Structure formats: C-alpha cells, structure tokens
Amino acid sequence: MLTIGQLAAYAGVTVRAVRHYHQIGLLPEPERDASGYRRYGAAAVVSLIRIRTLANAGVPLSQIGRLLDADAATFAEAVRKIDRDLREEIERLETSREQIAQLTAGDSLALPPEVVSYLDRLREIGTSERVVEGERDGWILVAAGWPDRIHEFMPGKIAQLDDPRVVRLYRVLSDIFDSDVRDDPRLEEAADLMACLAEQAYAYGGINLGEEAYDDLPHDLLDALALEADPRLERLQDLMRERGWAGWNRMERLPEPPA
C-alpha cells in the first residue's frame, strides 16, 4: 500500500495534482487507515497514470472522467472529438500568432497590402510621418466601412501621387502639421491646392461609391477623424468654404453666392 507521496512519485505527478484530482472527483479518495494515513493500492496507481496520460495529451480534466469509464467505441469517438477541438484550437492560436506578428509590421496591421504600398509611396514623396499616420488611420476606417471596394479605390489614389500638385499638397501639409504655428499662412496654399484638385475631381465625376455613398457613417467618421487629428484643420475647412467647397472626405461644391 502506498502513501500519497509514493503514489504521486510512481505515477509521475505531484502530490498537489493528486489532491486536486480527489477534489474534482477524478480519483477516488481512499479511507484512512488506523494510523490516520490514506493508503493507495495498485488500482489507484493505474487510474492515476491513465489520468496523467490523458491530461498530458491535452484532454480537458472535465472530460477525463467519462473517458475513464467509457467502452472502446465511446472512447474512440470521444478522442476523435477532442482531436477535432484541438485542431481548431491550434488553428486559432496560429491565427493569433500571425496577428501578433503583424503588431511589429506597423501599417500592415488592419490594412490590406495595396494601402500599405500607398502609405509607403507617401513616405517616398516626402510626406511626414505624422501625416502618413493620419492617412493610415483614415484608411483603416475606409477598409472597415467599404472592405470590398478598397481594390477599386487604390489605383486612382496611387496614380494621384504622380501629380506634382498632390505631391506639393502633402509636403505643405507635412510642414504645417510638423510645426507649432496656430494660424499657419501655408494653410492658404494648402487650401488653394485642395480647391484646384477638387475642381478637377468634380469635372471628372470623382469616385463613384455606388449605394455606399448614401451611408453617412463612414464619411462622418472620416471627417471627425481629420478634425480630431489637428484643430488647424478647422481653419483649413473655413478656407475651403471661401473657395466654394464644403466637407472633408466627401467634398461638395457650395452654391454660387447670389449676384
């Protein structure tokens, strides 16, 4: 007959584990002998080894009890189910690992590759990191609001970076937002460039979003994001209104003032 310590050592577990198995009903707790100690027989050793083997294989403790008493067919089916559950858990963990790896990848977190390429191009043309970060956050909202349309938007956005006026606009905005000047005179130049580009986009019909254009929430979020990023953008909006344009993301031409 074995003491609890001898039982644990023989089966390759800790005494604490044996006591835990007693508490949850996996391993019957024997009566105490005349000296007040619990003694374990060979059957307890076999049961404990089976419990340890199943637990080490990844079987949840909550399922081990019914497996110990199951017939061969029931045991085999239960093991197959546990194996399926483990495969699903492995897949979930692999996905989590990929997502964790993305945390070190900066822009690629929550953004499709074509947007990441666009942000890299912004850096190449001299855009400051602060402006790039603002663009990144905006594209996160776009990707969430219109996930199936990103591939349609990006070719045109990337092509715009070949326009010297767009390059100049990003550089001016970079200079403005990297400075601490509240009413920066360069906002006037930014507004002129934006009005010119808006006029051109308006002439060509802009980007057709289809039915999604009637969903105000993504547009409202994008406008709010811009204004939250820097209070000077309110001044830029005022300058755009002076030039006949309202809005931020969904820019609209204002009606002509009466003569």
Instruction: Say if pTM beats, i.e. exceeds, 0.85.
Output: no
Residue-range definition of the domain harbouring residue 79 = 4-102
How far apart CA 243 and CA 104 sit, in angstroms, is: 42
At 137, give phi and psi (nearest 5°).
-65, -35
Inside any domain, residue 70: yes
Using alpha carbons, select from 255, 246, 158 the residue that is nearest to residue 195. Answer: 246
Inside any domain, residue 214: yes
Going by their DSSP bridges, the two strands 245-246 and 252-253 should be labelled as: antiparallel
How far apart CA 234 and CA 230 sit, in angstroms, is: 8
Determine the pLDDT at residue 106. 60
**Chain mean position to CA 123:** 24
Reported as a pLDDT band with limits 50, 70 and 90, residue 205 is low
Give the pair of three-digit tokens for residue 218.
Answer: 């993504």
Same domain? 197 vs 119: yes
What percentage of the chain has pLDDT greater than the value 70?
90
Reported as a pLDDT band with limits 50, 70 and 90, residue 91 is very high
Same domain? 243 vs 210: yes
Bigger pLDDT: 6 or 31? 6
Question: Buried (b) or exposed (e) across 159-180, using 16+ Cβ within 10 A?
Answer: ebbeeeebbebbbbbbbbbeee
Which residue, of 56, 79, 102, is where some domain finishes?
Answer: 102
Determine the pLDDT at residue 180. 86
Report DSSP state, residue 110.
T
**Chain mean position to CA 141:** 13
Inside any domain, residue 258: no
